[in-house]
Amino acid sequence: MTHLRQQGYLLKALAPKYQAIRVPASKSEASRLVRSSFYDSISTLEQLLTETAQEMSSKVGLSCLSKRFDSLPMWAHYAANAAGLAVEFKDLEQAFQGDKTGILRQPTAIDYQRESYGVTFAPQSHRSLFFAKFQDWSYEQEVRVVMPLAQCEEHEISGKVLHTYQMPKACVARLVLGWNMSPAGASAIQKLVKDNNPSVAISQARFFRGGVSLDPMPAVT
């Protein structure tokens, strides 16, 4: 029954116009609900599931993290071919302790699947809407935090709306500078850290023989 309650809480939080069937109090009541006329039209139910999934998706933002720092494709795709940087976080479970939806505001590892089934009638299939990707992306070892957009800050940049969430400064453990970052860029970041959050460590990523290692950066005086 837990997943049914969580689905109800999730609908109330993200798609309140879609009514969830209340959690049955017994097996006999569950059987009566399943035999009700509400379930006679499979096509109508499928359309309702699709609309509900789209409504929920439109109300959240995803913070996509990784368990690894040494993925070459990720340095190429997300850090300007290693001219950018990576941020290492700590204690995210304490900063994002979740809620009764079982989905929102908690770090959750991605489930990598060969096929995508979407939201179906199967219990907890709604989790695939937020925490499922194709198997080819498994090298990312992704962890996500799903945040309601209503709890984020809204900005308009070049005519587009951007939502952000202020990560607690205490959760920032280290910055990892890419091996193609310019010396001027590295110095600017070191000064920024010293002025704003000096407890944050800084490491320099090194690419050697097809692998990535980390070297500590000297402190800025």
* 1 band by pLDDT with thresholds 50, 70 and 90: low
pTM assigned to the model:
0.83
Q: What pLDDT is attached to residue 121?
A: 61
Q: What pLDDT is attached to residue 80?
A: 96
- Residue-wise pLDDT for 5-57, tens only, equals 888 888 889 988 876 666 667 777 777 666 666 566 677 777 878 888 899 99
What is the percentage of the chain residues whose pLDDT exceeds 90?
65
* 119 band by pLDDT with thresholds 50, 70 and 90: low
In whole angstroms, give the CA distance from residue 33 to residue 40.
11
- Residue-wise pLDDT for 146-197, tens only, equals 999 999 999 999 999 999 999 999 999 999 999 999 999 999 999 999 999 9
Cα-Cα-Cα-Cα torsion 179, 180, 186, 189, nearest 10 degrees, comes to -90
Is 113:90 a contact under the CB 8 Å cutoff?
no
**Nearest partner of 97 among 110, 107, 89, 87, judged by Cα:** 107
Q: What pLDDT is attached to residue 161?
A: 92
Q: Assess whether pLDDT exceeds 80 at residue 125.
A: no
**Average pLDDT along the chain:** 88
Q: What pLDDT is attached to residue 24?
A: 67
Mean pLDDT of 77-103: 96
Q: Which two tokens stand for residue 19?
A: 């009514």
